[in-house]
Structure 1
Amino acid sequence: MPIDAVVFDIGRVLIEWDPERFYDSRLGEAERMRLFREVDLLGMNEGLDRGEDFKSAVYDLAERHPAWADEIRQWHDSWLKMAYAEIPHSVRLLRNLRRAGVPVFALSNFGIGPFELASTVYPFFKEFDQAYVSGYLGTLKPEPEIYEHLERGSKVAPNRLLFTDDRPENIAAAAERGWNTHLFTTPDTLARRLVDEGLLSEEDAT
């Protein structure tokens, strides 16, 4: 069955997203690990991904943990240093797919505030044919509702979609719905899959 559209996750597929790296550079690994044990930063970030206000959620958490308040606020104030670079080969693949006439969608767990901030820095955020972003939709991968949003909005049959994501649980949820999937590890392996599916030439996949 041919592929009609490609669906990209964003974090760790199209941009580097590494808060641990950021805090390691500030605190050292041992102190960063203590911070993450004592403060539920990842739980707070899940709330952002569900649509909570960016600054309020981070600063409210900082107020509840005064010993770590300065470091917690960095999740808001220095967020772009955590999402610190695009992954150039992945972005080339996205753009070459669009040039080849293949619709390209985003399906990402991403807060509203962070997504709008990143959109000012990474131009390709505005180049998707459609973007399905958890913060706006109020549902996260791997919950079925977010996949349903894309299926309804794109009007592409599940078995005509190819979805790449770095999280096995997100891939598994899509596969259960009949999507074609690719667990992202490197841009090179994704490029090979796109060539094998007949979506890009060898030249356009480099």
Structure 2
Amino acid sequence: MTRPEAVVFDIGNVLIEWQPEQFYDRAIGPEARARMFCEVDLHGMNEAVDRGAPFRETVYATAARYPAWEAEIRLWHDNWIEMATPAIPHSVRLLAALKARAIPVFALTNFGDDPFRIAEPHYPFLRDFDRTFVSGRLKVTKPDPAIYAAVEAETGLAPAALLFTDDRAENIDVARARGWATHHFDGPAGFAARLVREGILAEDEAA
């Protein structure tokens, strides 16, 4: 079996926690949050941003359509960095260990272009990737096969040379169908163990 030559990271819930409901539970309380998420397709709004729609305009336009929730919806833009937090320290250490080993590391993420620019100063490790594939820039999101094809084309690596970790099974399934090595992320410890099994990192490097 071919050992992977490069590691591809998802970002949300792999390197940075992404749980908007938890943010709104803190901001407006669980009951109001549940009502708002029932009445407003906030995740659909965010998916539009991930596909390249302008961040502020998309959030504010959605807020304007729901006057009862206008101030709360605007928080998705105005307090976004408080929603995309915190970093997942062990995952960040794994990224650093791979870089120290000179293993190529790529990001493949459903992320709006503007939100990604906001995140970079707060999370300097986002600049550590050899290549970053951001859906908002490519105008296509996982699990569309086109975004995986873009990684293959731009890196010049065969599918079997790529080890991809993502927290969403549907994203993993498409990568696996293309021949990528995959790891369904359910915490950094499991991914660390996978990197050791693959011979990419030593146990002490993966700690």
TM-score, length-normalised on structure 1?
0.99
Query: 1:84, CA displacement in angstroms?
Result: 1.4
Q: How far apart, CA to CA, are the structure 1 residues paired with 2:18 and 2:43?
A: 13
3-state DSSP of counterpart to 1:106? strand
Residue 65 of structure 1: aligned partner: 66
Query: 1:35, CA displacement in angstroms?
Result: 0.3
Q: Deviations over 1:158-201 (max 9, x none)?
A: 01110000000000010000000000001000000000000001
The answer to whether the aligner puts 1:21 opposite 2:6 as a matched pair is: no
Residue 149 of structure 2: aligned partner: 148
3-state DSSP of counterpart to 2:203? coil
Letter in 1 for 2:129: F
Paired residues in the alignment total 206
Query: 1:31, CA displacement in angstroms?
Result: 1.5
Q: Which runs of 5+ in 1 are unaligned?
A: none
Instruction: Describe how 1:36-115 pairs up with structure 2 within 5 A.
Output: 36-115=37-116
Q: How far apart, CA to CA, are the structure 1 residues paired with 2:35 and 2:148?
A: 35
Letter in 2 for 1:134: S
Letter in 1 for 2:178: R
Residue 203 of structure 2: aligned partner: 202
Letter in 2 for 1:82: M
Query: 1:27, CA displacement in angstroms?
Result: 2.0
In angstroms, what is the RMSD of aligned CA positions?
Answer: 0.6
Q: Which runs of 5+ in 2 are unaligned?
A: none
Give the ranges of 4+ consecutive aligned residues of structure 1 lying more than 6 Å apart after TM superposition.
none
Letter in 2 for 1:71: E
The answer to whether the aligner puts 1:117 opposite 2:118 as a matched pair is: yes
Q: How far apart, CA to CA, are the structure 2 residues paired with 1:31 and 1:56?
A: 24
Q: How far apart, CA to CA, are the structure 2 residues paired with 1:152 and 1:84?
A: 32
Q: How far apart, CA to CA, are the structure 1 residues paired with 2:153 and 2:197?
A: 27
Q: Percent identity?
A: 55
TM-score, length-normalised on structure 2?
0.98
